[in-house]
Amino acid sequence: MKRILSGIQPTAESLHLGNYLGAVKQWVELQEGNDAFYCIVDLHALTIETEPAALRRRTLASAAQLIALGLDPKRCTLFIQSHLSEHNQLGWIFECITGFGEASRMTQFKDKSQKSGADRTVVGLFTYPMLQAADILLYQANKVPVGEDQRQHIELTRDLAQRFNSKYGDTFTVPEAHIMKASAKINDLQDPTAKMSKSAASNAGVIDILDSADVNAKKIKSAVTDTGKEVKFDEKSKPGISNLLTIHSSLSGKSIAELENEFIGKGYGDFKSAVAEVVTEYFAPVKVKAEELLKDEVGLIEILREGAEKARVVANRTLKSTYDALGLVPGKQFLP
Ligand code: TYM
């Protein structure tokens, strides 16, 4: 069985369509026939200052949505990053083998730090990718299902694993990014050349899966398109329509060619209505299920704690072999 690991930051009340189509949809599929670990990376979320009550609420809301979207805690290990100290411990080791220049080249760091300016950028944002490498390598993951925006972080993770292995002996599995070509980058509906993101300046182009059918239908109907008439996939000259085709196709299971055919002779208005219908129908039951799960907070936390105990067995073992490889004198923190 292949080991899978991926993570999501609890930085919003609702997952957006990019999170689902770029990552979580694959997570659900990869539960079958693999040993899958999925982590809500609350420590990573601390790189953005958040009100404590909101962080707590978003962490549980993320868990509820992941389960409602199809993660089954009996078939995968779903847990919260901060429940295991091993993530920080291994993160530090990677900070000690990552070059300053190498970390400075991470585009997510560059973008985010440029936006807020050097004085307001926290050190945690700089070391973020080393904690992410720890998340992955602790579990000896073979595959990491993510969207395109995470490719560079996975590349760094691979470099760190190889570097450690060649210096200190084989300790880590070198993972591969698992990126679905068709839905690797879902774009903002108002700016269809930029990725859909929870940190977008305006929420008008972001489809939150928990939003009401009305709100999402309105956003889809006002999506930016082009001056043409044809519903055709062409990312260069029709980025808006192409994005909507990707969304429809990923959720309805119809191919892009089938959809192009279906909308021959029809206008963009009809097509947008069809996309809105597919999106709202798909996520309506998810919203109900997520709300239901959140009503039993104690039960939800228990699921996550059980997940953490399963994760600990693997994480603790990897940390022990890492410490051994480095020549650190073993303490009592390791499981028998
Ligand atoms: P995060 O929380 O920003 O996003 C979670 C997942 O959603 C994907 N994604 C998208 N995919 C397609 N189109 C989009 N517009 C879009 N927006 C987001 C992301 O690629 C991601 O897969 N650094 C990670 C979290 C992380 C992690 C890990 C991931 C921490 N440790 C270990 C994998 C393995 C992040 O910020 O994802």
Kindly report, residue by residue over 47-102, the tens digit of the pLDDT.
999 999 999 999 999 999 999 999 999 999 999 999 999 999 999 999 999 999 99
Active site residue 287: no
CA distances from 7 to 18, 27, 41, 192, 286 (A): 14, 10, 6, 25, 20
Quick one: 226 exposed, middle or buried, by C-beta within 10 A (0-12, 13-18, 19+)? middle
Q: What pLDDT does 119 receive?
A: 82
Ligand 1 close to Cβ of residue 9 (< 6 A): yes
The closest residue, in CA terms, to atom 4 on ligand 1 is 8
Which one of the listed residues 2, 167, 198, 332 is annotated catalytic? 198
pLDDT tens sequence across 164-176: 999 999 999 999 9
Active site residue 221: no
Task: Report CA(23)–ligand 1 centroid distance (Å).
Answer: 7
Q: What pLDDT does 202 receive?
A: 92
Mean pLDDT within 266-278: 97
pLDDT tens sequence across 24-55: 999 999 999 999 999 999 999 999 999 999 99
CA distances from 62 to 68, 81, 133, 156 (A): 10, 13, 21, 26
C-alpha–C-alpha distance, residues 297 and 293, integer Å: 7
The closest residue, in CA terms, to atom 28 on ligand 1 is 7
Which one of the listed residues 195, 221, 289, 310 is annotated catalytic? 195
State the closest ligand 1 atom to the C-alpha of 41, by its place in the atom list counted from 1: 30
**Residues 6+ positions from 270 with CB-CB distance below 8 Å:** 263
Task: Report CA(330)–ligand 1 centroid distance (Å).
Answer: 34
Unique residue bearing structure tokens 């080393």: 130
Task: Report CA(109)–ligand 1 centroid distance (Å).
Answer: 14
Ligand 1 close to Cβ of residue 144 (< 6 A): yes
Testing ligand 1's pocket by substitution, the residue of 20, 149, 243 carrying the most ligand atoms inside 8 A of its CB is 149
120 pLDDT band, cuts 50/70/90, is confident
> Which has more pLDDT, 49 or 139?
139
Task: Report CA(281)–ligand 1 centroid distance (Å).
Answer: 24
The closest residue, in CA terms, to atom 1 on ligand 1 is 8
**Nearest by Cα to 149 from 95, 198, 94:** 198
Q: What pLDDT does 330 receive?
A: 84
Torsions phi, psi for 80 (to 5 deg): -100, 130
Q: What pLDDT does 116 receive?
A: 82
Which one of the listed residues 112, 143, 185, 238 is annotated catalytic? 112
Testing ligand 1's pocket by substitution, the residue of 20, 43, 146 carrying the most ligand atoms inside 8 A of its CB is 146
Ligand 1 close to Cβ of residue 18 (< 6 A): yes
Testing ligand 1's pocket by substitution, the residue of 17, 125, 150 carrying the most ligand atoms inside 8 A of its CB is 150
pLDDT tens sequence across 276-317: 999 999 999 999 999 999 999 999 999 999 999 999 999 999
